[in-house]
Amino acid sequence: MLAATFGLPRSKACEHALRLAKALERALRTQGVLPARAIDSLAQVQAVFAEVPVPLLDAPERPPHRPRAVVDRAAGYSGKKKTAP
């Protein structure tokens, strides 16, 4: 989005976004409002999101990588056909 908005090459947009993210992290740390980054257990997740009535997880859907070369495809093929239940 940054590249398209400002007419930058994608690599430069990524460099700028990384630099800005680091600056934001430093500013939030200085103000003492840096959010927690690591949650180690389900109990911590439940404690952090106790007031949230319906938590939603946003994750990209990515298709599985399938090789284009016939030789490579054969190595990952199990030979089983999917059947409807």
Q: Where are the domains of the chain?
A: 1-47
> How far, in Å, CA of 5 to CA of 38, rounded?
32
Give tens-digit pLDDT for 6-57.
888 999 999 999 999 999 999 998 998 887 777 888 898 888 888 888 878 7
Gyration radius of the chain over CA positions: 22
3-class SS of residue 58: coil
Contact 76, 66 (CB under 8 A): yes
Whether the model clears a pTM of 0.75, i.e. scores above it, the answer is no
**Ramachandran angles phi, psi of 58, nearest 5°:** -110, 115
> How far, in Å, CA of 72 to CA of 81, rounded?
19
